[in-house]
Amino acid sequence: MKGSTKPWTSSTLKKHLQLIENNHQNNIDSGYTEKIEELDKNFKYSNNRDRNWSEPELSILYGTPLYQAASPSQKIALNHLSWVFQYEHTAQSEAETIHYNQITGGSFSAMGSDYEAIARQLEHESAQERSHIHAFYKVNYQTLKALLGKQAFINSSTNKSDRTSSGNLQSSTYQDYALRSIAKIMLKGKEQYHSQYLKELEAQNKLISTSTNGFFHGRGAIPQSLLRFFAVNWGSSPFLACQYYTVRFIANMLLKNKEYSIHTYCKKLQKQGEFVPVPTAISYYHLLDEAFHTTTSLFLARDLYKDLPKPTEYEKFVVNLAVYMIQRSNLNGISGVVVNRFYADDPPLMANIYKLLQSPVFDLSAPEALSWIEKCLCHEHEGFHQSAKFHQRLLSELRQFCARLDYLWPINREMRLMASGGSIEKAIQNNIKTFKQFSKTIAQSN
């Protein structure tokens, strides 16, 4: 089988490809993307500003002393900002998804005509992601402008991993070359599966979309050279093209972990005949749309690889490294003030909360804002328990998924790093350490 340019055929393969085709057709027939586009077209913040967009428990700072002291209008603002922060991250993650769909789609096309159905499905999903991103950004822009004013668009966060100083540019270039060379050496004999899209990116030295700050690229937690390494692998090996979707499935489930609650809230409003805010409806249809994408991820990660030649030890190493890095950077903690944000060390969150407290929503002085941050992040309260509940639920779902992937190391199959991050006590201790440094930074800047 090694070096063969023919597609692999088996009864299970045909079954899996038929499931992909059925999922693709059901996706097209659903019309959920078109409903999101219509909601996007008609959205005006002024028509949606007086209602919660989700259950209050999903609001930023819910369960904290500050939330208890907040006025009704402030609580609604915190609820809206929770939606904004969630879908800012989702939009960035979906931009990354478009990029990797193209890389892996090219590899599937190179595997033979039987696999072109997968590439078509991924191309369709990418078109849907573009519609989702537009809707998220429209809602977010109007909401931030209304609640925070011009300061919402000043000194906005960027992906620090994009900035390479002249001092370390040479080192970064060397690392890129070394890691990409290793990938090509270890995948020698699989050149026929090299994604055309990847070849074009390599020719332009643009292996990753560095402007995104979503699930996989976010926070600069994974070095840029390593992201380029993963891109080369995912676009050069049939097994690894499938196993990018292990990563994507984890991202799908992270979003669903919170979005399902908004979906349920929307159904409750509909049943009671109450007004459904546009952002709530967007979340409702987005969950339904993304269910097709999640199904794609599940088929490719869990099932399709079994019809391919057995992976080499190197290929198993690559996917395990990716899952390990995701656990360490995205799932290894709880915040206590933002549900579904599971970073062990999160200085950007502290900076955003500080900015929020000095915005027109609260209009606090610098000392007042710092005092509230300390109360909300460095002491146990209901918000931590709410976050821990969401963390535990996601952990259980991911363990069920990973238990069926026989190529994963035990630390990944059992999601051990993620499990270690569910401690409230650990989260508070991390916050105390981060707050001390953050306070010093604020003092130095004033």
Q: What value does the mean pLDDT take over residues 114-139?
A: 95
Q: Is residue 213 part of a domain?
A: yes
Q: Is residue 22 part of a domain?
A: no
Spatial CA neighbour of 221 closest among 107, 118, 324: 324
pLDDT at 2 over 50: no
**Rounded Cα gap, residues 105 and 23, in angstroms:** 16
User: Residue type at 69?
Assistant: A
Digit-coded pLDDT (tens) for 361-402: 999 999 999 999 999 999 999 999 999 999 999 999 999 999
Tokens of 41: 């077209």
> For helices 166-186 and 224-234, what crossing angle results, to 10°?
20
User: What pLDDT shows up at residue 1?
Assistant: 37
**Rounded Cα gap, residues 238 and 104, in angstroms:** 9
User: What pLDDT shows up at residue 15?
Assistant: 80
Q: Is residue 365 part of a domain?
A: yes
Q: Is residue 124 part of a domain?
A: yes
Residue 123's pLDDT band, with cuts at 50, 70 and 90, is: very high
**Burial label, 351 (beta-carbon count in 10 A; 0-12, 13-18, 19+):** middle
Task: Answer for the pair 146, 50: CB distance below 8 angstroms, yes or no.
Answer: no
Question: What is the value of pTM for the model shown?
Answer: 0.92
**Rounded Cα gap, residues 113 and 47, in angstroms:** 50
Digit-coded pLDDT (tens) for 264-293: 999 999 999 999 999 999 999 999 999 999
Residue 159's pLDDT band, with cuts at 50, 70 and 90, is: very low
Task: Answer for the pair 323, 247: CB distance below 8 angstroms, yes or no.
Answer: yes
Tokens of 143: 């909401």
For 159: left if phi > 0, alpha if psi spans -120 to 50, otherwise beta; the answer is beta
Digit-coded pLDDT (tens) for 40-84: 999 999 999 999 999 999 999 999 999 999 999 999 999 999 999
Counting every residue written for the chain, the total comes to: 446
**Rounded Cα gap, residues 63 and 234, in angstroms:** 42
Digit-coded pLDDT (tens) for 398-418: 999 999 999 999 999 999 999
**Rounded Cα gap, residues 314 and 111, in angstroms:** 20
Contacts of residue 386, defined as CB under 8 A and 6 or more positions apart, other chains included, come to: 57, 62, 63, 339
Q: What value does the mean pLDDT take over residues 144-169?
A: 60
Residue whose structure tokens are 């809707």: 135
Q: Is residue 224 part of a domain?
A: yes
Q: How many domains does the chain have?
A: 1
DSSP 341-394: ---SS-HHHHHHHHHHHTSTTT---HHHHHHHHHHHHSS--HHHHHHHHHHHHH
The whole domain housing 332 covers 31-158+176-445
Spatial CA neighbour of 98 closest among 125, 120, 121, 136: 125
% of the chain exceeding 90 in pLDDT = 73
Residue 164's pLDDT band, with cuts at 50, 70 and 90, is: very low
Q: Is residue 382 part of a domain?
A: yes
Contacts of residue 217, defined as CB under 8 A and 6 or more positions apart, other chains included, come to: 92, 96, 159, 161, 208, 209, 210, 227
DSSP annotation of 237: -
**Rounded Cα gap, residues 421 and 334, in angstroms:** 7
Q: Is residue 5 part of a domain?
A: no
Q: What value does the mean pLDDT take over residues 241-262?
A: 96
Task: Answer for the pair 89, 349: CB distance below 8 angstroms, yes or no.
Answer: no
CB atoms within 10 A of CB 436: 12
Task: Answer for the pair 349, 338: CB distance below 8 angstroms, yes or no.
Answer: yes
Q: Is residue 274 part of a domain?
A: yes
CB atoms within 10 A of CB 357: 22
User: What pLDDT shows up at residue 225?
Assistant: 85
CB atoms within 10 A of CB 428: 18
Spatial CA neighbour of 347 closest among 443, 417, 439: 439
**Burial label, 392 (beta-carbon count in 10 A; 0-12, 13-18, 19+):** middle
**Rounded Cα gap, residues 228 and 103, in angstroms:** 12
80 to 156, 189, 221, 330: CA distances (angstroms): 18, 52, 28, 23
